[in-house]
DNA sequence: CATTATAATGAAAATGATTTTCATTTTCAT
DNA sequence: ATGAAAATGAAAATCATTTTCATTATAATG
């Protein structure tokens, strides 16, 4: 469990522990898929009513900085966060019809990206690759109302 | 000149012409690189003081919908827009040190993207590929203050 | 265990980019 | 020339996120 990673991060920064933050972290790590601050707050409040949105934002920032969460924007205004699996990285297919998000990983693409960078004498720290379009279901049903989430 | 494309778009939508919009379009199309609404307003106002920010936003939306502009978010809050060169598409290397943006085009990556989509029975309409990192200059100088723009 | 410096909290206010509203002006088909 | 509807811009609204600030909680130390 990479929980100790956060503990270490907290310590090394001279931060203190708190029950609210623990609850947010615990809830976040149990989450599947991509979660916004607002959505996470709803989940957290099922366990503890006294947690505020500000703390959720602050904790998500902490998780992101410590490498336990990855922030993603996709095509909307809100940031969503996803528990990071160490050493792993994936990109996304995003259906504009229903909002469905699928993951993929492609080493060949990454190799080509490195090649591009090398040509420009550029050093990649991270990348964003998002493929937008229509999933199978939506292409069958025809374009329907996009799902809000 | 693809100006006629917009004229056609305006007409087909039952819109009317206006000097403000013409000025915004003209200024935008003469722009190199990526321009935000705010930046574009400054340029436009050099020619015509009476243009408002709202009109710039509205015109940029129109340009984007008609395919004459491409909107990009990169890693910041503000949207920037870039004149679209028809039939062409490119992706970007973004230096986190100085903010420099370089373009690249790589057909092999696009082919692999299509392959990924096929495997998921997904139909790509567009994609976002951004490589973040450090450019040559910045890697020599060491990490300096990031350029705001 | 008591003290105390300071981190954490959450409500409310601030922010910043963008959009909406609305009263007024302009355009253009007739 | 006329009138219906589009365009405008200032101001207000929106919306996600951040900051402020008074209060509370934590933990290192005496």
Could you give the CA distance from residue B81 to residue A132 in angstroms, rounded to a whole number? 19
Structure tokens, A50? 């006294």
Please report whether residue B106 resides in a domain.
Answer: yes
pLDDT of A145 over the 60 cut: no
In this complex, the nucleotide whose C1' atom is nearest to the CA atom of residue B58 is C19
Same domain? B33 vs B102: no
In this complex, the nucleotide whose C1' atom is nearest to the CA atom of residue A14 is C7
| Band (A3; pLDDT cuts 50, 70, 90) | low
Domain boundary among the residues A59, A83, A107 is at A83
| Band (B147; pLDDT cuts 50, 70, 90) | very low
pLDDT tens per residue across span A46-101: 999 999 999 999 999 999 999 999 999 998 889 999 999 888 899 999 999 999 99
pLDDT of A146 over the 60 cut: no
Same domain? B24 vs B71: yes
Could you give the CA distance from residue B30 to residue B23 in angstroms, rounded to a whole number? 11
Same domain? B51 vs B103: no
Domain boundary among the residues A83, A107, A128 is at A83
Residue A123 φ then ψ, to 5°:
-115, 110
Instruction: Give B42-46's long-range contacts (Cβ < 8 A, gap of 24+).
Output: none
Please report whether residue A146 resides in a domain.
Answer: no
Quick one: closest CA in A to B134, which residue? A123
Same domain? A108 vs A126: yes
Same domain? B10 vs B31: yes
Bases of chain D with protein Cβ within 7 A: 5-11, 15-20, 25-27
Same domain? B101 vs B66: no
Q: Which residues, listed in sequence order, are joined to residue B95 by a DSSP beta bridge? A: B133
Domain boundary among the residues A56, A83, A110 is at A83
Same domain? B77 vs B105: no
- Taking the CB of residue A69, how many other CB atoms lie within 10 A of it? 23
pLDDT of A149 over the 50 cut: no
Residue % of chain B over a pLDDT of 90 = 79
Same domain? A79 vs A97: no
Of the residues B70, B123, B134, the best mutation for testing chain A's interface (the one with the most A CB atoms within 10 Å of its CB) is B123
User: What's the pLDDT score for residue B8?
Assistant: 85
The CA distance from B48 to the nearest CA of chain A, in Å, is: 32
Given a contact cutoff of 8 angstroms between Cβ atoms, the answer to whether A51 and A44 are in contact is: yes
User: What's the pLDDT score for residue A24?
Assistant: 97
Give the CA-to-C1' distance from A77 to D7 in angstroms.
28
CA distances for A129 relative to A52, A61, B28, B94, B113, angstroms: 33, 22, 27, 14, 10
Within 13 Å of residue A20, how many CA atoms lie on the same side as its CB? 15
Mean predicted lDDT score pLDDT of chain A: 91
Average pLDDT over residues A136-148: 67
Please report whether residue A95 resides in a domain.
Answer: yes
Average pLDDT over residues B93-118: 96
Compare B52 and B75 and report the one with higher pLDDT: B52
Could you give the CA distance from residue A89 to residue B6 in angstroms, rounded to a whole number? 41
CATH number at residue A44: 1.10.10.10
| Band (A147; pLDDT cuts 50, 70, 90) | very low
Average pLDDT over residues B45-56: 95
User: What's the pLDDT score for residue A101?
Assistant: 95
Helix, strand, or coil (residue A148): coil
Quick one: closest CA in A to B109, which residue? A109
Asked if A127 lies within 8 A of B132 by C-beta distance, the reply is yes
User: What's the pLDDT score for residue B87?
Assistant: 85
Same domain? A42 vs A16: yes
Same domain? B25 vs B72: yes
Residues of B in contact with A122 (CB under 8 A): 93, 95, 102, 131, 133-136
Q: What is the domain range of residue B38?
A: 3-83
Within 13 Å of residue B64, how many CA atoms lie on the same side as its CB? 16
Structure tokens, A98? 């229903």
CATH number at residue A133: 3.30.1490.190
Please report whether residue B146 resides in a domain.
Answer: no
Please report whether residue B149 resides in a domain.
Answer: no
Please report whether residue A149 resides in a domain.
Answer: no
Please report whether residue B45 resides in a domain.
Answer: yes
In this complex, which of A96, A113, A131 lies closest to B131 when CB atoms are compared? A113
Residues of B in contact with A134 (CB under 8 A): 122-123, 125
Quick one: closest CA in B to A78, which residue? B77
| Band (A2; pLDDT cuts 50, 70, 90) | low
User: What's the pLDDT score for residue B6?
Assistant: 80
Task: Please give the tally of structural domains in chain A.
Answer: 2
Same domain? B9 vs B76: yes
């Amino acid at each position: 469990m990479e929980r100790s990673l956060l503990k270490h991060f907290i310590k090394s920064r001279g931060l203190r522990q708190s029950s609210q933050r623990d609850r947010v972290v615990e809830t976040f790590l149990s989450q599947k898929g991509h979660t916004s601050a607002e959505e996470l707050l709803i989940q957290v409040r099922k366990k503890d009513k006294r947690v505020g949105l500000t703390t959720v934002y602050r904790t998500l920032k902490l998780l992101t900085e410590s490498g336990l969460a990855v922030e993603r924007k996709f095509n909307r205004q809100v940031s969503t966060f996803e528990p990071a699996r160490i050493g792993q990285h994936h990109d996304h297919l995003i259906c504009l019809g229903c909002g469905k998000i699928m993951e993929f990983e492609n080493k060949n693409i990454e190799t080509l990206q490195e090649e591009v960078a090398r040509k420009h004498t550029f050093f990649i720290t991270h990348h964003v690759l998002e493929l937008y379009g229509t999933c199978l279901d939506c292409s069958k049903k025809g374009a329907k109302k996009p799902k809000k989430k």
